[in-house]
Amino acid sequence: MIDIRLIREQPELVKENIKKKFQEDKLSLVDEVAALDKEAREVQQEADDLRRKRNELSKQIGGLMKEGKKEEAEKIKEEVAAFAKRLEELEEKEPQIAEKIREIMLVIPQIIDPSVPVGKDDTENVEIERFGEPKVPDFEIPYHTEIMEKLSGIDMEAAGRVAGNGFYYLTGDIARLHSAVLSYARDFMIDRGFTYCIPPFMIHGNVVEGVMSFPEMDAMMYKIEGEDLYLIGTSEHSMIGRFKDQILNEEQLPQTLTSYSPCFRKEKGAHGIEERGVYRIHQFEKQEMIVVCRPEESPVWYDRLWQNTVDFFRSLDIPVRTLECCSGDLADLKVKSCDVEAWSPRQKKYFEVGSCSNLGDAQARRLKIRVRGEKTNTLPHTLNNTVVAPPRMLIAFLENNLNADGSVNIPKALQPYMGGKERISA
């Protein structure tokens, strides 16, 4: 949610930003908010004037009664009663207008960073840099579920009977590998100075509204029937929600946190053949990193966060690249975002394994998080990034570490978490 002052003082800037995001249907909302805001201030001014006059007249009534001028006092009482009726109308109108403004402001996108490339959708995202040499072995690489099945590591058929499509059983060394990756990711981030957290896996609706846009919410969140609770789609939601309605001292920043959680997602819409198996599923686990910082520090933290993910994947011998998200591919709360994509030797292309986002002050404004210091009273910036999200990451891991005989090499960094194993074999 942007600052209402931008619409008052720079409406054309807000409209230009909407055009860059190819959301022309929202242009009229800027004028609508401007008109409502003008009306809200006029209503507030009239209400304040009436309260002031009422107080002045009330004092006069008291004075007249003391002087025995009862008739004059009664006339002023009638005037005060008329003020009261109008004031009641205005006081009823104020929250109604404020709610209308808030509803629209939640839909107007955040002002994107000037460095973001302009483009309509993810096909116009821009590659930034590659890390590691992508290789294709001289033997055929099976689909990832076939690799897992040969290692007795997955049962999707049984999961389908138990929970339906989009679920799985992981077993044996593949299940152990899954847990090992998460444990390694936890320690990797702790070694980089982040505080480890396990957050609530359910959050209230007002927290959901504070951390994401309505289209994202509809496409992602599962609601608990009959309760004001939603299953989280990522731990960022409950981690940022932790600071809701809080005033942080400057000395408390930056907050650098790494969190583990299961994640639950509807994954609405049809996806391509390459997104079957365990690529898009309704339940998975993830290690996340979250930063709450001073506004001037967020660009530096943004670069640190995506670099952490690159370094993590490179420590496991997986080639990756970073991809700058264009304006049309940014969610409405994001100022800037990039994807980290891992190399798939089977597909001979990269695919997304993580996303790093700077949300500016959008979440802080929605959740009423403030920073206070000797000379500061402002909104902090919030950032988040994926460390690792198995089992999707396992696809890249298995393909890049697969041997011709079907066995899978375990990189040195991960071997302590696999009981010293150097290889998984059938």
pLDDT band at 270 (very low <50, low <70, confident <90, very high): very low
Give the lowest-confidence range in 31-35, 70-74, 315-319, 398-402: 70-74
Pick the CATH number of 4-105 from 1.10.10.10, 3.40.50.1980, 3.40.1360.10, 1.10.287.40: 1.10.287.40
User: Which residues, at least 6 apart from 217, have a Cβ–Cβ distance to it below 8 Å?
Assistant: 208, 209
Report pLDDT for 66: 63
Q: What is the mean pLDDT of residues 55-67?
A: 68
CA atoms within 13 A on the CB side of 37: 18
Q: What is the mean pLDDT of residues 132-160?
A: 94
Q: How big is the CA angle at 226 (ends 223 and 232), to the nearest 5 degrees?
A: 25
CA dihedral 268, 269, 272, 276 (to 10 degrees): 30
Separation between Cα atoms, residue 203 and residue 236, nearest integer Å: 11
Question: Is 176 within 8 Å of 153 (Cβ atoms)?
Answer: no
Query: What does the pLDDT look like over 99-143, one tens digit per residue?
Result: 999 999 999 999 999 999 999 999 999 999 999 999 999 999 999
Closest CA to 424 of 412, 411, 410: 410
**Which residue matches tokens 């990034």?**
385
Q: Residue 52 has what DSSP assignment?
A: H
Can you say how many angstroms the Cα of residue 132 is from the centroid of all Cα atoms in its chain? 29
> What would the two tokens of residue 378 be?
């402002």
Query: What does the pLDDT look like over 1-38, one tens digit per residue?
Result: 899 999 999 999 999 999 999 999 999 999 999 999 99
- Whether pLDDT at 178 is above 50: yes
Report pLDDT for 198: 97
Query: What does the pLDDT look like over 211-266, one tens digit per residue?
Result: 988 777 777 899 999 999 999 999 999 999 999 999 999 999 999 999 999 999 98
Q: Which CATH class is domain 122-424?
A: alpha beta
Q: What sign does the dihedral 218-220-225-227 (CA atoms) show?
A: negative
- Whether pLDDT at 397 is above 70: yes
pLDDT band at 59 (very low <50, low <70, confident <90, very high): low
The β-bridge partners of 355 are: 339
**Which residue matches tokens 């995001």?**
21
Question: Is 314 within 8 Å of 391 (Cβ atoms)?
Answer: no
Average pLDDT, the chain: 91
Break the chain into its structural domains and give their ranges: 4-105, 122-424
Report pLDDT for 289: 97
Q: How big is the CA angle at 202 (ends 200 and 204), to the nearest 5 degrees?
A: 115
pLDDT band at 73 (very low <50, low <70, confident <90, very high): low
